[in-house]
Amino acid sequence: MTFPAVPLLTPTLRKLERRAPLDDDDRRAFLDLPVRYQAVDPNIYLVREGDRPDRSCLLISGFAIRHKMTETGERQVLSFHVAGDFCDLEGALLNVADHNLQTLTHCELAFIPRSAVRDLILSHPRIGMAMWIDTLIDSSIFREWVVNVGRRDGRARIAHLLCEFARRMEVAGLADAAGYELPLTQEQIADATGLTAVHVNRVLKTLTSEGLIRRTRRVVSIPNWAGLRRAAGFNETYLHLDQVAGHPGVQPGFVIAPAMPPHGGAPSF
């Protein structure tokens, strides 16, 4: 099934415009991309590790995750994606997929042929640069996840995941005063934080009893943002929100992380 692409791609275009200045020709070229629109059920693989991709994809609505398995069969979630994310640009530029991409909820997707993305990048380098910046921000988030699973204890890891989710949902316009829906099972949270589902359950109970979060089924709200931020050691610099479209403003109850403290110690260049 094919739908008019323009309204579907417009939010993503607005996001790209925030990264690099585009002219009318750039905008037209982007909106003229040959996209195939498709609605997809929850828990469906869009890309599998080892695939040789012939397309790229963009998430129009819903939630998706990237993940990877070890040889011993343990799963690690690598990132989650929300509406508007260009969640598989790798598909256009890398020859073999190094991880899986799977829907979490019902999703609407736009598939774009690999060759069309490459042609666009070469013919309209400003758009290419904007999309590149998108993947660099993803990269920054992966780095923070390395820190999260490498150097924080269970409580801080989960608090950090919740903080990141809250901020990203907010920026995507998907969070309100009541909180946000966390489309993850406790097992998926475990796979994202390098813990077990049992331990996640215990930590969520602790965070709730400490008054840092409130939960009813899958909806999470954060009655004590400052406290959760402190528990997580959350500093949102890594989200590069100055280069992300949406609602960059501060919501009531949310506090933007202060600037980094001055450096000390090791010599600088």
Partner DNA sequence: CGGCAAATTGAGCATTGTCAATGTCTGTGG
Partner DNA sequence: CCACAGACATTGACAATGCTCAATTTGCCG
Q: Which residues bind DNA (CB under 7 A)?
A: 153-155, 185-187, 194-199, 201-202, 204-205, 215, 217-218
Q: Say which entry of DNA, its own copies, none residue 197 contacts (CB below 5 to 8 A, set by partner kind).
A: DNA
CA distance 239 to 170: 13
Closest to its own copies by CB, 194 vs 227, is: 194
Which of 2, 72, 209, 216 touches its own copies by CB under 8 A? 72
Which of 6, 39, 94, 178 touches its own copies by CB under 8 A? 94
The least distance separating its own copies from the CB of residue 113, rounded to whole angstroms, comes to 16
The least distance separating its own copies from the CB of residue 149, rounded to whole angstroms, comes to 4
Question: Binding of its own copies at residue 264 (CB under 8 A)?
Answer: no
Largest interatomic CA distance in the chain: 60
The least distance separating its own copies from the CB of residue 105, rounded to whole angstroms, comes to 14
Closest to its own copies by CB, 201 vs 243, is: 243
Question: Binding of its own copies at residue 114 (CB under 8 A)?
Answer: no
Nearest-CA neighbor of 162 among 193, 202, 198, 136?
193
Residue 23 in contact with residue 58, Cβ under 8 Å? no
The least distance separating DNA from the CB of residue 175, rounded to whole angstroms, comes to 19
CA distance 244 to 19: 7
Closest to DNA by CB, 12 vs 148, is: 148
DSSP-assigned letter for residue 78: E
Helices 154-171 & 186-193, crossing angle to 10 degrees? 110
Q: Say which entry of DNA, its own copies, none residue 90 contacts (CB below 5 to 8 A, set by partner kind).
A: its own copies
The least distance separating DNA from the CB of residue 249, rounded to whole angstroms, comes to 31
CA distance 267 to 258: 24
Residue 121 in contact with residue 169, Cβ under 8 Å? no
Question: Binding of its own copies at residue 128 (CB under 8 A)?
Answer: yes
- Strand (E) or helix (H) holding 61: strand 55-61
Distances in whole angstroms, Cα of residue 204 to Cα of each of 162, 194, 213, 215, 227:
10, 15, 8, 9, 14
Residue 94 in contact with residue 109, Cβ under 8 Å? no
Residues that bind its own copies (CB under 8 A): 40, 43-46, 48-50, 66, 68, 70-72, 74-76, 78, 89-90, 93-96, 98-99, 102-103, 118, 121-123, 125-126, 128-129, 132-133, 135-140, 142-147, 149-152, 193-194, 233, 235, 237-238, 240, 242-243, 259-260, 263, 266-269
